[in-house]
Structure 1
Amino acid sequence: MPQLLSSKEGSLFRQLVKNYETKQYKKGIKAADQILKKQPNHGDTQAMKALILNSQGQTDEAFALAKTALKNDVKSHICWHVYGILYRSAKNYDEAIKAYKFALRLEPESIQIQRDLATLQIQVRDYNGYIESRKTMVKSRPQIRQNWTALAVAYHLAGDYTNAIDTLEKYEGTLKQPPPRSDLEHSEASIYKNTVLAEKGDIEAALKHLDTIYKTNADRTAVMELRAQYLLQLGKGKEAEEAYRDLVERNNEYRLYYDGLEKSLGLERSNPEHVPKLLELYESYAEKYPRLDAARRIPLDFLSGDKFRTAADSYLRRQLNRGVPSTFANVKALYQDPEKKQVIQDLVLAYENEKQANGSADKPANGDSSDQFHEVVLYFLAQHYNYHLSRDLPKALQYIERTIELSPKFVDYTMTKARIYKHLGNTPKAAEIMNQARELDEKDRYINTKCAKYQLRNNQNEDAIATMSKFTRNEAVGGALGDLHDMQCMWYITEDGEAYQRRGELGLALKRFQAIFDIFGVWEEDQFDFHTFSLRKGQVRAYVDMIRWEDHLREHPFYTRAALSAIKTYVLLHDKPELKKPTANGDESQSAKAKKKAQQEKEAQKAPAKKPALDANGEPKKEDTDPEGVKLRETETPLEDAMKWLGPLLSSSPKSIEAQNAGFEVFIRRRKHLLALKCLRSAHELDPENPALHHQIIRFQKELEALAKAPSDADKPVLEVLKSQFTLIPADTSAAAFNAAFLERHAKSAPHVVAGLHARVVLDPSTKAKSEDEAIKAVVGLETAQLADALAARDALREWGSAAEVLQRWEKEVKARWTEAVL
């Protein structure tokens, strides 16, 4: 039975609820204690106090008090609702849903509980449960459009397009008169209904519906784009052409509109007979809009031979005469075609000797002399020879030096010089020059962050944060670094972690990678706000896009990059447990930091107590008890910790061969042979010639042989399955022969040669000396070898336990080839 309160305590309880909602937690605790003084077993008051305790970070005390509240009043919907909220805050969504359902049984009319339950169901993608919750909300308040739209979204996300459309139409049928054009919610709902019709596959119906809302819908651009798309899909070429021409008039630099226009005209770039018509089309737009770039640039994608040379000459002269620094960026996509790359190179080299471009329709901007043209040509050539498909770094360096002589204060030129040194392997010099570029324009945030990135690549973590601090809120908790974490600046946090990893400061590296993991967790949690906000504001299409984006959140490149680095670090800690102690790998700086921190804490105890720092919501910030990542580094279960990263990585990025390679490394060490084999097979499907995969296949074969020599009773059934499923090395071929064939097949590829030699040493350690010699020759002698391949060879030599003399010879020969590289 509900526990009744006197009028005085009842008033206090209402005040307690208000205090919680307004985050006046101290007043709320005081009010709760006053009530409990009179009625110590009042469950609802205990539940509300538990909520406040949880908001203050006292999670354990909150759960204990909430359980006590349930014992005292198990039939209170407030107690069950609070219990669900606590579980939700602890991210135990299954238990939270159970608690909400109990609360609803006791109070089926509660809109708040129903809304919380629905929000949690969509959060965990329980679409069937979400549909039922939304049906209940529609029945209870059918006059609110938001409830109908939410039910339609529930059906849509569940793949039930028919019911989604019917739901939207049912609400439209209840309207006594058409909503005005200013009703943005109706406008959005109308176009949302149209997209659902299209997803259902009924393009004809979608087009008819679009025609009915064409003149009244507020999002005119979206309506025009959808109409053009539908007409094209239905094969209505003439109408589609008109629709796409209207779109081009609206935005004549948007390439997708031109692609649609080409398709509506039935023109294919691969068909030589269509090329003259395509050229005529783009020439008409170029003549109509003299300042238009797209109509002059796009033909370079499909023209060839002399026509390409003529068009490229005209385009390059026009851009270079105007002094456009981004000209190379506009044309570098053409370098995928070697013939076009050569034509562009020949043209621009010819320009180098010209005093002024001839035959151009444009005069130099602002009356500039021919010096500007010459300067931009030199800059183009510097970028051209720096680009990986046309790389000649000594030439690139010569051209950029000449360019800088002409305009020493132009930031882009100095930045390009830094990039060239980066590609030369001279990271310290690159960082130094990028800092010089930053000093040319200290108010430019982009060059500032670029400089910080180069400093991190050179392992200058302290200098990088000092550089970043010029554009951060340094008064934030944690200073500049704390602000970067608050702003979720993932590129910096990732680069910072990788720099610490290279420095051997594995605790700080893991700390940064953990911050990336937490940011993705925050993004998942942030959905809660949008489940109600987006529907309330009527932004339905954006909401559905967000839900679908969140479903693939861990595919994000930043997660993949951080995950691979974190897994590599944990594997290293497993292989070399001595690295868990800071002094074991020569990292004296961490020891010094630890001593300094201990001294600071000792001084802080003597100082007067300060008020706790508050976050953006005015709540106390959680104190970081492990700022140096010591606990992360000293983990006793590194492989289990790696699994936290690996699980989402494999499930969200199964097509990433790097993820499969990382999975093998973890599973083989955990002796999960079936899972390791699964990773091998998946990687083999993606790229059977991958160097890392080949090395892992050989290692797995050796592991099987060792397992077969003395299998335990538990291993015998697994061993039978492994033997039957491991077919990556043919049954009639030995591992040595398989590896020899791999080396012969890829004799001109340095990464493959190093992988094959590594595998050979695994199979026969007596071949180490021969393999050392061949590895050094491969990375130095092969024309296609890159500096990264040489560094990979050094890692292999170290893993083989090569003598110092061998490593010195490697360094000498690599230095002879990459003279500017800092190894």
Structure 2
Amino acid sequence: MPQPLNPKDQSLFRQVVRNFELKQYKKGIKTADQVLRKNPKHGDTQAMKALIMSNMGQSEEAFTLAKEALRNDMKSHITWHVYGLLYRQEKNYEEAIKAYRFALRLEPESAPIQRDLALLQMQMRDFQGYIQTRTAMLQARPGVRQNWTALAIAHHLSGDLEEAEKVLTTFEDTLKGTPPVSDMENSEAILYKNTIIAETGNLERALEHLEKVGYRCTDVLAVMEMKADYLLRLGPDRKAEAEEAYTALLERNPENSIYYNGLIQAKGIAESDHKALKALYDEWVEKNPRGDAARRIPLDILEGEDFKQAADIYLQRMLKKGVPSLFANIKSLYTHPAKRDIVQELVEGYVSSSPAQANGSDDAKEKEFLESSYYFLAQHYNYHLSRNMSKAMENVDKAIELSPKAVEYQMTKARIWKHYGNPVKAAQEMEKARLLDEKDRHINTKAAKYRLRNNENEKALENMSKFTRNETVGGAMGDLHEMQCLWYITEDGEAYLRQKKLALALKRLHAVYNIFDTWQEDQFDFHSFSLRKGMIRAYVDMVRWEDRLREHPFYTRMATSAIKAYILLHDQPELAHGPMPTVVNGADGLTDEEKKKALKKAKKEQQRLEKIESDKREARKAAAANAKSIDGEVKKEDPDPFGNTLVQTKDPLNEAMKFLTPLLSLSSQNIESQTLGFEVYLRRNKHILAVKCLSAAHAIDPSNPTLHLQLLQFRKALDKPAEPLDPKVAEVVEAEFEKLLPKSQKLEEFNESFLSANKGSATHVQAALSGRIFLNADSKAQCEQDLLATLDSSDITIDEAVPALDLLTKWGGDKAAYAEKAKQKWPESSVFQLN
């Protein structure tokens, strides 16, 4: 039982609680000390003081005091509740749940404890526990709608749709009257119940329910869409009604392609009946003459002369308007070579027959049409399915000549230089585009991105600082972290990784990792907020999205880069001190003495940068009180701005695992995830997990070049293991690996067979040649010649050719000959320059 206080001290204790709720932390501490002077072992007051201290950032002291409070009063639900709250703030949810459960044993009817426990159970996806807690809360307060809704959600997310619907129906039966149409919470509950009925598969009942109660819903568009969807899925008997429903939707929004697809299915028009489809779209063009969708969509289905006529009308209409996004709207057609050629022929014809081109007409409309056509052709010839770089550059120069201040034209010129393989020139041209409109955030970020692709990290940050608040701690980079600017932080990290500045690379990549953790934590507030506001459908969508959060493309990209950085750090520990001039196996000819000097120089540079940052930190301390983040709270100084603590890890492969585990779990169909998993597990001597990654990669793409090389490496590793394998492990690994590469298979024959089967692909040839050298080091000279010969192929691209330089570095081969031949093939490129 809580220790008794006299009335005056009891009043002071209640004041402490109010101070905490009002975030008056200093007053709360002062008042708590008043109570504790007379009652030094009062557990509840100690607990509340600990909670306030934790919110003031004194977490260690808070835990110490909270434990003392528990020792003084083990039977107080307040002390256990606070103990759970402290663990929750530390994100140790398992321990927090244990503390809450103990508090509930002492005070079973406590609504705050039940609420906090329910929120954590939802955060941890403990649906069975959540159902029990929500049931108890409902029994305690059956008149509160959100208690019923929360229980329905608990059953729904646990997979019990029937019970979820039953809970919502039971609440509806308890209502004495019909809620008004303006009651949005009731409207959302009705639609949520309808989605549950639909998820059971009983569409007929879902439709009946929707028609019965849909008129009372404020989300009219959702009701119309759900009704149309149900009618369409109910089969031929309801097609006429479905047609009517989708027609109503199109009248509301004639630019939604999904509605057109629904209407076509409702009418029963076959995909091959191009005439009927064209007639349908023409009808909507007449109804909506200013619209785009009904004109654009038919281009996907029409062919031959019909396509040419429709494309001609569409292209001329858009070019006359000078629509900048025309090519982006059209390029999906290029997967059909015939359509691509027709589009090219049409636009080339516009240019050649344009009066402004033929006789130099000054007519503004003709001039705009001509420059739009040039701009379109520049993008057309720059696109990978219709690439002709010289024509792309020629057309963009003509467009710029007609309109020198058009930002889009200058941006396209920068993209052309990028595809030429010249990131230096591309960055310069994009900077020119930025200077044409310095107030445009989009072009500013593009310029920064091109700077990063050219490894100009400082200049890129300078660009970004033009649109950030730079008075916070950390300057522009601090703001970018505050704004969770994923694309920039990721690109920045990748740029540092290319430069082998692993400390800064890991710093940026860990920052992105932490942003995803923040997104995971941010849902916590919505477990109560969404129920309070009645936004149930959006809440359920959010919970399901959070469950697949690390499938996000940016997580995959960041994680793969981080794993590569840690593998590089494991293989070359000296990189922890900065980029080194040495390469694998000392192929550059440096002596051991020269390598020691290089390492010493790298350490000195690292110390110099640390000293500069330390001086800056000291200078900022005086202004720390004014250094606030966007939400007005004081922003903590970063103790490791250069990532030196991260890069000094003793076990890089173990650190890589925190990035790899979610990657293999949620992006298992990404072959790069599997091949990186193999690299990590092989280095950690986890042979069963390594072969599992190989099997998964083989199932995705058996002819993947990276996989091919790894199969050879693993066979060699099994034949001559660094450490003897446990007999049982060896048996399992051999049995699994036998399916991928039989032990009886001669590795040289396997490699040459792979080479002959894929000689048309430069990437596959590079992998096979690497395999040949791996199996026979004496074949290096011949492999260099064969690698050089890949540049004679007309199909090889710059992106495929560049990795060969890294291969030659690993082989200790002649990079100069390869680089010279590559520069002759791509004279505008800068990526083959040797340092």
TM-score under structure 2 normalisation?
0.94
Q: Who is 1:429 aligned against?
A: 425
- Say if 1:155 and 1:164, in contact at 8 Å, map to a contact too: yes
Q: Who is 1:757 aligned against?
A: 769
Residue 830 of structure 2 aligns to which amino acid in structure 1? V
CA distance in 2, matches of 1:58, 1:768: 62
CA distance in 2, matches of 1:373, 1:548: 48
Residues 8/496 of structure 1: CA separation in 2 closer, same or farther (3 Å cut): same
Residues 266/252 of structure 1: CA separation in 2 closer, same or farther (3 Å cut): same
Residues 615/347 of structure 1: CA separation in 2 closer, same or farther (3 Å cut): closer
Residue 789 of structure 1 aligns to which amino acid in structure 2? E
Residues 541/602 of structure 1: CA separation in 2 closer, same or farther (3 Å cut): closer
Residue 388 (structure 1) aligned with residue 395 (structure 2): no
Q: Mean Cα displacement is larger for which, 91-100 or 411-420?
A: 91-100
- Say if 2:69 and 2:79, in contact at 8 Å, map to a contact too: yes
Q: Who is 1:363 aligned against?
A: none
Q: Report the CA distance between 1:355 and its aligned residue.
A: 2.0
Q: Who is 2:823 aligned against?
A: 815
Q: Who is 1:247 aligned against?
A: 249
Residue 33 of structure 1 aligns to which amino acid in structure 2? D
Q: Mean Cα displacement is larger for which, 580-589 or 106-115?
A: 580-589
Q: Mean Cα displacement is larger for which, 143-152 or 782-791?
A: 782-791
1:570-609 aligned within 5 A: 570-582=566-578, 584=580, 587=602, 590-600=606-616
- Say if 1:47 and 1:79, in contact at 8 Å, map to a contact too: yes
CA distance in 1, matches of 2:129, 2:414: 57
CA distance in 2, matches of 1:788, 1:613: 44
- Say if 1:323 and 1:372, in contact at 8 Å, map to a contact too: yes
CA distance in 1, matches of 2:379, 2:459: 28
Residue 287 (structure 1) aligned with residue 298 (structure 2): no
Q: Who is 2:586 aligned against?
A: none
3-state SS, counterpart of residue 622 of structure 1: coil
Q: Who is 2:593 aligned against?
A: none
| 2:548 aligned to which of 533, 542, 552 | 552
3-state SS, counterpart of residue 284 of structure 2: helix
> 1:378-411, CA deviations, whole angstroms, 9 ceiling, x for partnerless residues?
1111000000111111110011001100000011
CA distance in 2, matches of 1:127, 1:194: 22
- Say if 1:56 and 1:620, in contact at 8 Å, map to a contact too: no
Q: Who is 1:774 aligned against?
A: 786
Q: Mean Cα displacement is larger for which, 43-52 or 237-246?
A: 43-52
3-state SS, counterpart of residue 389 of structure 1: coil
- Say if 2:455 and 2:499, in contact at 8 Å, map to a contact too: yes
Residues 250/722 of structure 1: CA separation in 2 closer, same or farther (3 Å cut): same
3-state SS, counterpart of residue 205 of structure 2: helix
| 1:785 aligned to which of 796, 803, 818 | 796
| 2:269 aligned to which of 267, 281, 297 | 267
Residue 808 of structure 1 aligns to which amino acid in structure 2? A
> 1:309-345, CA deviations, whole angstroms, 9 ceiling, x for partnerless residues?
1111121122112222222111100001111111111
Residue 171 of structure 1 aligns to which amino acid in structure 2? F
| 1:748 aligned to which of 760, 775, 788 | 760
Q: Report the CA distance between 1:616 and its aligned residue.
A: 4.9
CA distance in 2, matches of 1:71, 1:346: 85
5+ long unaligned stretches in structure 1: 358-365
Q: Who is 2:734 aligned against?
A: 723
- The number of equivalent residue pairs is 804
Residue 728 of structure 2 aligns to which amino acid in structure 1? P
Q: Who is 1:47 aligned against?
A: 47
Residue 703 of structure 1 aligns to which amino acid in structure 2? A
1:399-414 aligned within 5 A: 399-414=395-410
| 1:649 aligned to which of 648, 663, 667 | 663
Q: Who is 2:588 aligned against?
A: none
CA distance in 2, matches of 1:91, 1:22: 23
Q: Mean Cα displacement is larger for which, 524-533 or 721-730?
A: 721-730
CA distance in 2, matches of 1:202, 1:279: 35
Q: Report the CA distance between 1:86 and its aligned residue.
A: 1.3
Q: Report the CA distance between 1:602 and its aligned residue.
A: 6.2
CA distance in 2, matches of 1:494, 1:79: 43
Residue 668 (structure 1) aligned with residue 664 (structure 2): no
Q: Who is 1:102 aligned against?
A: 102
| 1:693 aligned to which of 692, 707, 723 | 707
Q: Report the CA distance between 1:23 and its aligned residue.
A: 2.1
3-state SS, counterpart of residue 720 of structure 2: helix
CA distance in 1, matches of 2:349, 2:627: 64
- Say if 2:472 and 2:627, in contact at 8 Å, map to a contact too: no
> 1:487-526, CA deviations, whole angstroms, 9 ceiling, x for partnerless residues?
1010011111111112222111111001101000101111
Q: Who is 1:482 aligned against?
A: 478
> 1:344-383, CA deviations, whole angstroms, 9 ceiling, x for partnerless residues?
11111111111269xxxxxxxx984322211111111100
CA distance in 1, matches of 2:298, 2:830: 43
Q: Who is 2:811 aligned against?
A: 800
CA distance in 2, matches of 1:522, 1:631: 21
Residues 618/318 of structure 1: CA separation in 2 closer, same or farther (3 Å cut): closer
Residue 781 of structure 2 aligns to which amino acid in structure 1? A
Residue 788 of structure 2 aligns to which amino acid in structure 1? I
Residues 246/601 of structure 1: CA separation in 2 closer, same or farther (3 Å cut): closer
CA distance in 2, matches of 1:602, 1:405: 52
CA distance in 1, matches of 2:389, 2:456: 25
Q: Mean Cα displacement is larger for which, 207-216 or 381-390?
A: 207-216
CA distance in 2, matches of 1:458, 1:152: 53
Q: Mean Cα displacement is larger for which, 592-601 or 124-133?
A: 592-601
Q: Report the CA distance between 1:437 and its aligned residue.
A: 0.6
CA distance in 1, matches of 2:517, 2:103: 28
| 1:510 aligned to which of 506, 512, 519 | 506
| 2:534 aligned to which of 538, 554, 564 | 538
Residue 237 (structure 1) aligned with residue 249 (structure 2): no
- Say if 1:582 and 1:591, in contact at 8 Å, map to a contact too: no
Q: Report the CA distance between 1:731 and its aligned residue.
A: 4.2
1:133-152 aligned within 5 A: 133-152=133-152
Q: Mean Cα displacement is larger for which, 283-292 or 135-144?
A: 283-292
Residues 603/314 of structure 1: CA separation in 2 closer, same or farther (3 Å cut): closer
Residue 500 of structure 1 aligns to which amino acid in structure 2? Y
Q: Mean Cα displacement is larger for which, 341-350 or 74-83?
A: 341-350
CA distance in 2, matches of 1:255, 1:69: 63
Q: Mean Cα displacement is larger for which, 647-656 or 60-69?
A: 60-69
Q: Report the CA distance between 1:60 and its aligned residue.
A: 2.1
3-state SS, counterpart of residue 279 of structure 2: helix
CA distance in 2, matches of 1:620, 1:602: 16
Q: Mean Cα displacement is larger for which, 248-257 or 208-217?
A: 208-217
3-state SS, counterpart of residue 143 of structure 1: coil
3-state SS, counterpart of residue 215 of structure 2: coil
- Say if 1:505 and 1:590, in contact at 8 Å, map to a contact too: no
Q: Who is 1:397 aligned against?
A: 393
Q: Who is 2:717 aligned against?
A: 703
Task: Quote the RMSD (CA, aligned, Å).
Answer: 1.8
CA distance in 1, matches of 2:479, 2:806: 36
CA distance in 2, matches of 1:582, 1:555: 32
Q: Mean Cα displacement is larger for which, 62-71 or 398-407?
A: 62-71
5+ long unaligned stretches in structure 2: 357-361, 582-597
CA distance in 1, matches of 2:342, 2:579: 58
3-state SS, counterpart of residue 447 of structure 1: helix
- Say if 1:761 and 1:768, in contact at 8 Å, map to a contact too: yes
Residue 255 of structure 2 aligns to which amino acid in structure 1? E
CA distance in 1, matches of 2:12, 2:726: 66
CA distance in 1, matches of 2:657, 2:622: 43
Residues 616/34 of structure 1: CA separation in 2 closer, same or farther (3 Å cut): farther
CA distance in 1, matches of 2:623, 2:161: 60
